[in-house]
Structure 1
Amino acid sequence: MRPNDRTTAHRSTGRERRPGRAAAAVLCGAALCCSAPALSAAPALAAAAHPGDAAWPVLPARDGWASAGGGTTGGADADAAHVFTVRTRGELVRALGDGDPTPRVIRVAGTIDANTDDRGRPLDCADYATDGYSREGYLKAYDPATWGREELPSGPMEEARAASAARQAERVKLSVGPNTTILGTGRNPRLLGGTLQIKGVDNVVVRELTFEDAYDCFPQWDPTDGADGAWNSEYDNLVVHGSTHVWVDHNTFTDGRRPDSGQPHYFGQLFQQHDGELDVVRGADLVTVSWNVFADHDKTVLIGNSDSAGDTDRGRLRVTMHHNLFRDIVERAPRVRFGQVDVYNNHHVVPASGYAYSWGVGVESRLYVEANAVTLPTPVDPAQVIKGWKGTVLTERNNRVNGSLTDLLGLHNAAVPEEELGDDVGWRPVLRTRVDHPRLVPHIVEEGAGAGRG
Structure 2
Amino acid sequence: MKSLAAFKAAVDGDGAKVVKVDGLISLSGQVDIGSNTTVLGVGSASGFTGGGLRIKEATNVVVQNLNISKPLAPADGITVQESTKVWIDHNSFSADREHDKDHYDGLLDITHASDDVTVSWNTFKDHFKGSLVGHSDNNGDEDTRHLKVTYHHNHFSNVYSRIPSLRFGTGHFYDNYVQGADTAAHSRMGARMLVENNVFRDTKVAVTTSRSSDVDGFAVARGNDLGGAATEISQVGDFTKPPYAYTAEPASSVVGTVTEGAGAGKL
TM over 0.5: yes
State how far apart, in whole Å, the 1-side matches of 2:15 and 2:194 are.
36
1:246 maps to 2:86: yes
Q: In terms of mean alpha carbon deviation, does 393-402 or 174-183 score higher?
A: 393-402
Shift of 1:93: 0.8
SS at match of 2:5: helix
Residues 260 and 272, structure 1, Cα contact 8 Å, conserved in 2? no
Shift of 1:430: 4.1
State how far apart, in whole Å, the 1-side matches of 2:222 and 2:250 are.
12
State how far apart, in whole Å, the 2-side matches of 1:309 and 1:428 are.
26
- The unaligned stretches of length 5 or more in structure 2 are none
Q: TM-score, normalised by structure 2?
A: 0.93
Q: How does 1:53-132 map to 2 (within 5 A)?
A: 86-97=1-12, 100-115=13-28
**CA offsets per residue over residues 217-246 of structure 1, 9 Å max, x none?**
xxxxxxxxxxxxxxxx41110000010000
Name the counterpart of 1:139.
none
State how far apart, in whole Å, the 1-side matches of 2:238 and 2:218 are.
6
Shift of 1:101: 1.4
Name the counterpart of 1:60.
none
Q: What residue identity is the alignment partner of 1:87?
A: K
1:374 maps to 2:200: yes
**CA offsets per residue over residues 262-318 of structure 1, 9 Å max, x none?**
x3xxxxxx3732010000001111101000001110011001111111111111100
The CA RMSD over aligned residues, in Å, is: 1.7
SS at match of 1:440: helix
Q: What residue identity is the alignment partner of 1:450?
A: G
1:326 maps to 2:156: yes
Runs of 4+ in 1 over 6 A off after TM superposition: none
Residues 188 and 218, structure 2, Cα contact 8 Å, conserved in 1? no
SS at match of 1:341: strand
Shift of 1:187: 4.4
* Greater relative CO, 1 or 2 (CA 8 Å, sep 6+): 1
The structure richer in helix per residue is 1
Shift of 1:392: 3.8
State how far apart, in whole Å, the 1-side matches of 2:175 and 2:206 are.
15
Q: How does 1:193-272 map to 2 (within 5 A)?
A: 193-215=50-72, 233-255=73-95, 259-261=96-98, 263=99, 270=100, 272=102
Name the counterpart of 2:253.
440
The percentage of counterpart residues that share the same residue type is 32
SS at match of 1:245: strand
**CA offsets per residue over residues 135-193 of structure 1, 9 Å max, x none?**
xxxxxxxxxxxxxxxxxxxxxxxxxxxxxxxxxxxxx2200000000000134112111
- The unaligned stretches of length 5 or more in structure 1 are 1-85, 116-171, 216-232, 264-269, 414-419
State how far apart, in whole Å, the 2-side matches of 1:271 and 1:443 are.
30
Name the counterpart of 1:190.
47
Q: What residue identity is the alignment partner of 2:33?
A: V
Aligned positions, number: 263
Shift of 1:194: 2.1
Greater C-alpha radius of gyration: 1
State how far apart, in whole Å, the 1-side matches of 2:90 and 2:120 are.
7
| Structure 1 pair 424–286 and aligned structure 2 pair: CA distance change class (3 A) | same
State how far apart, in whole Å, the 1-side matches of 2:239 and 2:186 are.
18
Q: How does 1:215-364 map to 2 (within 5 A)?
A: 215=72, 233-255=73-95, 259-261=96-98, 263=99, 270=100, 272-350=102-180, 355-364=181-190
Q: What residue identity is the alignment partner of 2:103?
A: Q
The structure richer in strand per residue is 2
State how far apart, in whole Å, the 1-side matches of 2:31 and 2:6 are.
12
Q: TM-score, normalised by structure 1?
A: 0.56
Residue of 229, 235, 245 corresponding to 1:422: 235
Shift of 1:432: 4.1
